[in-house]
Amino acid sequence: MGFHSNIFNCGFLPENLCAGFTRLLEITTATMIAMLLMSPSADADTASRPNVLFILCDDLRPDAVGCLGSKHVKTPHIDAVAADGVCFTNSFCTTSLCSPSRASILTGLYAHAHGVRNNFTELPANLATWPGRLQQEGYETAYIGKWHMGEGNDSPRPGFDWFVSHKGQGKYFDTEWNVNGQRRETPAGYYTTVVTDYCLDWLGQQQDKPWALCLGHKAPHSFYFPEPKYEHAFDDVTVRYPASAFALETQPDWIKQRLPTWHGIYGPLFDWRKKFPDRRPEAVTDFQRMVRAYWGTVLSVDDSVGRLVAFLKETGQYDNTVIVFMGDNGLLEGEHGMVDKRTMHEPSIRVPLIARGPGLPAGATVAGQVLTEDIAPSILDLCAAAPLADIDGRSWRQLAAGDDPEWRTAWIYEYDYEKQFPYTPNIRGIRTDRWKFVRYPHGDGSPDRHTPELYNLEEDPQELTNLAENPNFAQRRAELERQLATELAALGLTPESDTMPLDEGIKTELPDEKIR
Ligand SMILES: [Ca+2]
């Protein structure tokens, strides 16, 4: 724990204690100055620093949130936070998978740099995180909810004064929790409600120090089980397969091969379809039930946001609290014939991001491309905390405040083939403000395993027409191939150093039941 500068603010302390501290300061001035020099935060007024409420949803599509474009899902509490802050309309994850993306959010690093490349790898304890930095600078810190870096480990992690989590994904009902390594308990009830109760308990105990609370929702991750009161909320909404599910003529073959698998629309649909593969048009009813249930779980997240914001307002903390609401990765809901995520298609990489609080404008919309890696530097910037060294992300505080002429216009996406989930190839791709180019490396240095993809996002935002093999775009493709290689090299990834598993192809076998 770093040196805490609150002791200089005698407003917190009874008069006799205050005088005591004054004498202590007189006696030990030299010692205190030495501590000041050692502590990066000691010159800051910690007491006036904003609190941080960081709300992370799991697999939440932006268009499943009212203010971010949903026609059907009403989220008045999330919308109110957005109206009071900034909506990022082009916010992306750089590896669309729970654990790698969560590690990027905490560290500001790409997956190849932090090393969490699948859902089974622990976040290396030596890596600096934004909550850890705030803890060093005098914040009280907590993580409550789904962590999921290290599938079977629910014990407390470094950087947090309070850590309440569970193994793996947790369950929508009656999850067993490890409460700060002190006790295990299984409170009856719906995950989203229970995790919010834990958060409110902790918030109610905070006193003088600024605090940073990370809430890791399970919702709306598969398998989708809405709270009973929302089970039928969307019964009247008709859901169809999206147009891109049937526009596969120009797409690489692996996308067609994925259709009847665990991650395709003709597969089991996270148990919403019992007999598969099923390509019949009427089988869309299973898909429809799946999407309705996904939306239903989001309604409870909105209730949770409402309870937390109400608490902050009742206790007079709302104005001095930075609230960041986001998702860890996107989700394919039938686009290109897919469910799940992992690919570099737009629904898989787009994540909701809303931020409000001191240092941010109200009612603003930001179109610049922001990444999961930008969260750590942005939150530390908003808290006037020392930045993390040698990270990949950048603070968007200036971008959000108006404009940042130096902001990025292109970025790199990476994903490594998983043997346990053989439905997505190795991916290295680049997304500029207008273009997307995606390569599928074999993994052993031999020619790429699959045809690449090239999209003009301005004219074809749904990615219906792959231009990679269209001779009219050969020059554009060559330019983007070069830019991809250059940007990868800037991240330290050359053909020699960028190691990845061998792509063993798309398979129809189901994943092990324990890791679904
Ligand atoms: Ca996720």
- Is there a single domain that holds both residue 434 and residue 373? no
Of 452, 420, 510, 496, nearest to 117 by C-alpha is 420
**C-alpha 351 chain-centroid distance:** 7
**Bridge partners (DSSP) listed for residue 199:** none
- Distance, in Å, from the CA atom of 380 to the CA atom of 240, rounded to the nearest integer, reads 42
- Is there a single domain that holds both residue 307 and residue 401? yes
Per-residue model confidence (pLDDT) at position 151: 83
- Is there a single domain that holds both residue 395 and residue 423? no
How many Å lie between the centroid of ligand 1 and the Cα of residue 212?
21
User: Does residue 281 lie in a domain region?
Assistant: no
User: Does residue 13 lie in a domain region?
Assistant: no
How many Å lie between the centroid of ligand 1 and the Cα of residue 51?
25
How many Å lie between the centroid of ligand 1 and the Cα of residue 408?
25
Q: What is the number of structural domains in the chain?
A: 2
Per-residue model confidence (pLDDT) at position 217: 98
Per-residue model confidence (pLDDT) at position 47: 61
Structure tokens at 149: 């870096």
User: Does residue 246 lie in a domain region?
Assistant: no
- Is there a single domain that holds both residue 165 and residue 205? yes
- Distance, in Å, from the CA atom of 413 to the CA atom of 371, rounded to the nearest integer, reads 10
- Distance, in Å, from the CA atom of 398 to the CA atom of 170, rounded to the nearest integer, reads 37
Per-residue model confidence (pLDDT) at position 7: 32
The answer to whether the bond into 277 is cis (omega within 30° of 0) is yes
User: Does residue 94 lie in a domain region?
Assistant: yes
How many Å lie between the centroid of ligand 1 and the Cα of residue 469?
32
Residue 159 falls in which region: left (phi positive, over 0), alpha (psi -120 to 50) or beta: left
How many Å lie between the centroid of ligand 1 and the Cα of residue 223?
12
How many Å lie between the centroid of ligand 1 and the Cα of residue 329?
5
Of 407, 422, 456, the residue that ends a domain is 407
- Is there a single domain that holds both residue 300 and residue 430? no
How many Å lie between the centroid of ligand 1 and the Cα of residue 58?
4
Residue-by-residue DSSP string for 191-213: HHHHHHHHHHHHHHH--SS-EEE
Of 366, 383, 407, the residue that ends a domain is 407
Per-residue model confidence (pLDDT) at position 45: 60
How many Å lie between the centroid of ligand 1 and the Cα of residue 224?
13
- Distance, in Å, from the CA atom of 92 to the CA atom of 351, rounded to the nearest integer, reads 5
- Is there a single domain that holds both residue 401 and residue 421? no
- Distance, in Å, from the CA atom of 296 to the CA atom of 239, rounded to the nearest integer, reads 14
- Is there a single domain that holds both residue 133 and residue 203? yes
User: Does residue 40 lie in a domain region?
Assistant: no
Strand residues in 349-418 grouped as ranges (E): 353-356, 364-366, 370-371, 410-415
The CA dihedral of 133, 304, 295, 168, to the nearest 10 degrees, is: 50
- Distance, in Å, from the CA atom of 86 to the CA atom of 7, rounded to the nearest integer, reads 34
User: Does residue 21 lie in a domain region?
Assistant: no
Say if residues 101 and 5 touch (Cβ distance below 8 Å). no
How many Å lie between the centroid of ligand 1 and the Cα of residue 346?
15
Tell me, what CATH number does 337's domain have?
3.40.720.10
- Is there a single domain that holds both residue 171 and residue 313? yes
- Is there a single domain that holds both residue 339 and residue 297? yes
Per-residue model confidence (pLDDT) at position 169: 93
- Is there a single domain that holds both residue 323 and residue 179? yes
User: Does residue 197 lie in a domain region?
Assistant: yes
Tell me, what CATH number does 452's domain have?
3.30.1120.10
List the chain residues with pLDDT less than 50.
1-44
Of 407, 422, 454, the residue that ends a domain is 407
How many Å lie between the centroid of ligand 1 and the Cα of residue 347?
13
Per-residue model confidence (pLDDT) at position 35: 44
User: What is the domain extent for residue 127?
Assistant: 51-226+287-407
Structure tokens at 379: 């939150």
- Distance, in Å, from the CA atom of 184 to the CA atom of 189, rounded to the nearest integer, reads 16
User: Does residue 106 lie in a domain region?
Assistant: yes
- Is there a single domain that holds both residue 204 and residue 314? yes
Q: Structure pTM? A: 0.91
How many Å lie between the centroid of ligand 1 and the Cα of residue 326?
11
- Is there a single domain that holds both residue 393 and residue 446? no
- Residue written as tokens 């309440």? 164
How many Å lie between the centroid of ligand 1 and the Cα of residue 457?
24
